[in-house]
Amino acid sequence: MKRETWEILLALESGKISVIDAHKKIMANCASILNDCMDKKQEVLMSPIRFEGVHVEKLAEVFRRNGIEYEPLF
């Protein structure tokens, strides 16, 4: 993800692609990460409220795989 974004920004700076094309490519990368996260969702049964969610560790795994640094807040 970082490398792809960097390459998009370099192409934009050198004038090889337009701002609109750069925006589309970056948004496609973001959509890909979101889809990876949504693929990890599971139904939570051990809660008073049943819902579908994604575990924090699964999100961290997707972020790491895409080169995004993740630091737990707590």
pLDDT digits (tens, 9 = 90+) for 52-71: 888 888 888 888 888 888 77
pLDDT, tens digit, 9 for 90 and up, residues 5-57 = 889 999 999 999 999 999 999 998 889 888 998 888 888 777 787 788 888 88
Q: Where are the domains of the chain?
A: 2-65
The answer to whether residues 13 and 7 touch, using CB atoms and an 8 Å cutoff, is: no
Indicate the helix (H) or strand (E) that contains 3.
Answer: helix 2-14
- pLDDT for res 10: 92
Residue type, 57: E
The answer to whether residues 29 and 67 touch, using CB atoms and an 8 Å cutoff, is: no
Indicate the helix (H) or strand (E) that contains 72.
Answer: none
Cα–Cα nearest to 1, from 26, 35, 34: 26
Entry pTM: 0.64
Residue type, 32: S
- pLDDT for res 74: 65
